[in-house]
């Protein structure tokens, strides 16, 4: 099941969607089926891009962990029974 990029001719929204053989895609914003199929850029996967993606994921996870720890500390300070 391929994913295609489209631009809605009715509302100009760009989106991507999973398209099955028997279905006709529609714009998620206005439900129009008057769509223009766009050229999709291929995803390049190499050890360099994988390393960059993993580094970004680790940074994101670290920030989320810091935010959770900060929220927990604030909660404990406000609810010190």
pLDDT confidence of residue 72: 94
pLDDT confidence tier of residue 80, bands split at 50, 70 and 90: confident
Cβ atoms of 5 and 39 within 8 Å: the answer is yes
Q: How far apart are CA 55 and CA 68, in angstroms?
A: 20
Tens digits of per-residue pLDDT, 59-78?
999 999 999 999 999 999 99
C-beta neighbour count of 16 within 10 angstroms = 12
pLDDT tens figures, 9-60? 999 999 999 888 888 899 999 999 999 999 877 767 788 888 988 999 999 9
Q: What is the pLDDT of residue 39?
A: 84
Cβ contacts of 1 within 8 Å, gap of 6 or more: 18, 19, 20
CA distance 54 to 50: 6
Q: What predicted TM-score, i.e. pTM, was given to this entire model?
A: 0.49
């Amino acid at each position: 099941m391929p994913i295609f990029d489209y631009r809605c001719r009715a509302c100009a929204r760009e989106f991507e969607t999973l398209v099955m053989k028997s279905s006709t895609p529609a714009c998620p914003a206005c439900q129009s089926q008057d769509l223009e199929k766009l050229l999709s850029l291929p995803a390049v996967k190499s050890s360099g891009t994988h390393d960059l993606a993993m580094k970004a994921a680790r940074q994101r996870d670290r920030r989320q962990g810091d935010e959770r720890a900060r929220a927990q500390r604030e909660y404990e300070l406000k609810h010190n029974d």
